[in-house]
Amino acid sequence: PDRPGATAHQAVDTTNAAAVNAGDRVVIFDTTLRDGEQCPGASMTLDEKLRVAEMLERLGVDVIEAGFAIASNGDFESVYKVAERSREAVICSLARAKHADIERAAEALKPARRKRIHTFISTSPLHRKFKLNMDEAQVLEAIADSVSFARRFTDDVEWSCEDGTRTEPEFLFKAIDVAIASGATTINVPDTVGYTVPEEYIALIRAIRNNVANIDKAILSAHCHNDLGLAVANSLAAVAAGARQVECTVNGIGERAGNAALEEIVMALRTRADIMGVRTGIDTSTITQASQLVSAVTGFPIQYNKAIVGRNAFAHESGIHQDGMLKNAQTYEIMTPESVGVNKSSLVMGKHSGRHAFKTKLKELGFELGDNAVEDAFRRFKDLADRKKTVFDDDLVALVSDEVGHE
Ligand code: KIV
Ligand code: ZN
């Protein structure tokens, strides 16, 4: 049912929260170049960042967080250059709740056609006490000051409560209220340390919607880390509870265990649109290419069994599955390989493979054997597969050429 990979990309007005909240379009905020790059060993050169940004535009992400402009001259330059080359996507730079950070972000974003400043401060008691050494009133004051200052440079301002999921809900409601009153158009609720679970995150997003008077003036956003392997599940939970932006990275790269993986969120929303009831603007047929580019430039390999983009994601070895696949691909595939830009599924020949796949494979390789010869070749193939993890096409050709010789 999901043959076509592409969906026409339509730019979303990310400053029109009322329209976004009333609709079914989820804003995809990609932070591969900022939070993704923040993990050990994933730093990218300027040229690599520009290639990734170009790919993200082709993918159709709505917002590209291009960096943290004040972090270094290199970060400033990459935000600036990404902004210069931007087309449809909103380009965003991160900034702490400090004027110098916000000014630097604004400067780097100058060439962008559409720009967003993303300012944040920690709200949790742990962070307030040990990191900021600030009390609640001081944090609220910093929020009002930073958000209203950022609004001087752009109408598109995102505010994040760092460690939001470990913040007392009552204080979080107050903080969000202040951010919206000061002009924030997107409110992001990070699960900074990957601590929450879907039920709790749903309850938190719902509570925010029920307890912050002007919540509809902003788009609610999820930003989940993967310390417990729940980043994607938590992001989907937030969408189910009414969030209309998700923050994610290609291949899920990011601090520690990473961020929510863009390709998993997008394909889950698409494959289960029947239950999720929302859509994204992503051209899913470019997902594999984007994944391979990010892996190549960061040097981070893609785990073989990674959902959507792992090399085994559309590979079948067991005889029962291969037989089902040959009869109807939907027996063992919930999305088509074409929908994510893979040519076709593969039937991998190994010790679990059955006769049906074996015969089909031989046909593909140009061999038409009689029943007895197939049986004999199949027995020898099984013996070989017991000795070797994977039987390659060349092995089969050698094995069957022998068989043809026997006949
Ligand atoms: O994880 C986090 O809290 C962040 C914020 C800066 C948005 O990356
Ligand atoms: Zn983060």
161 Cα–ligand 2 center, Å: 11
Judge whether 259 is annotated as a binding position.
yes
The first and second tokens of residue 87, run together, are 């087309």
pLDDT reported for residue 1: 44
Give percent of the chain with pLDDT exceeding 90.
94
Q: Find all residues with CB under 8 Å of 7, minimum gap 6, and list them.
A: 60, 279, 280, 281, 282, 283, 284
Judge whether 223 is annotated as a binding position.
yes
Task: Report whether pLDDT(403) > 70.
Answer: no
Query: Alpha helices of 299-370 — where are they, by DSSP H?
Result: 319-327, 355-364
Measured from the Cα of 192, ligand 1's closest atom is: 1
pLDDT category of residue 401 using cuts at 50, 70 and 90? confident
Residue identifier of the C-alpha nearest atom 2 of ligand 1 = 192
pLDDT reported for residue 7: 52
In angstroms, the Cα distances linking 187 to 97, 183, 239, 283 are 15, 10, 14, 26
pLDDT reported for residue 40: 86
Q: Average of pLDDT values for 89-95? A: 98
354 Cα–ligand 2 center, Å: 46
Task: Report whether pLDDT(32) > 80.
Answer: yes
- Which helix (H) or strand (E) segment holds residue 27: the answer is strand 27-30
Task: Report whether pLDDT(6) > 90.
Answer: no
Render pLDDT for 275-284 as a digit per residue (tens, 0 to 9). 999 999 999 9
pLDDT reported for residue 17: 97
Ligand nearest to the CA of 165: 1
| Beta strands at 27-30 and 63-67: parallel, antiparallel or unpaired | parallel
Q: Average of pLDDT values for 140-148? A: 98
Task: Report whether pLDDT(319) > 60.
Answer: yes
Query: Alpha helices of 99-211 — where are they, by DSSP H?
Result: 99-109, 125-126, 136-150, 169-181, 198-211
The first and second tokens of residue 67, run together, are 């960096």
Q: Average of pLDDT values for 378-396? A: 93
Ligand nearest to the CA of 161: 1
Q: Average of pLDDT values for 132-150? A: 98
Task: Report whether pLDDT(313) > 90.
Answer: yes
Task: Report whether pLDDT(329) > 70.
Answer: yes
Q: Average of pLDDT values for 220-248? A: 98
Give the CB-side neighbour count of residue 339, counting CA atoms within 13 A.
19
53 Cα–ligand 2 center, Å: 19
Judge whether 225 is annotated as a binding position.
yes
For the chain, what is the mean pLDDT?
A: 95
DSSP 8-class letter at 343: S
Residues 42 and 21: their CA atoms lie apart, in Å, by 34
Measured from the Cα of 255, ligand 1's closest atom is: 1
Q: Average of pLDDT values for 173-202? A: 98
Residue identifier of the C-alpha nearest atom 8 of ligand 1 = 35
254 Cα–ligand 2 center, Å: 7
Query: Alpha helices of 337-392 — where are they, by DSSP H?
Result: 355-364, 371-387
Measured from the Cα of 120, ligand 1's closest atom is: 6
pLDDT category of residue 407 using cuts at 50, 70 and 90? very low
Task: Report whether pLDDT(406) > 60.
Answer: no
pLDDT category of residue 3 using cuts at 50, 70 and 90? very low
Torsion of CA 366, 367, 368, 369, to 10 degrees: 180
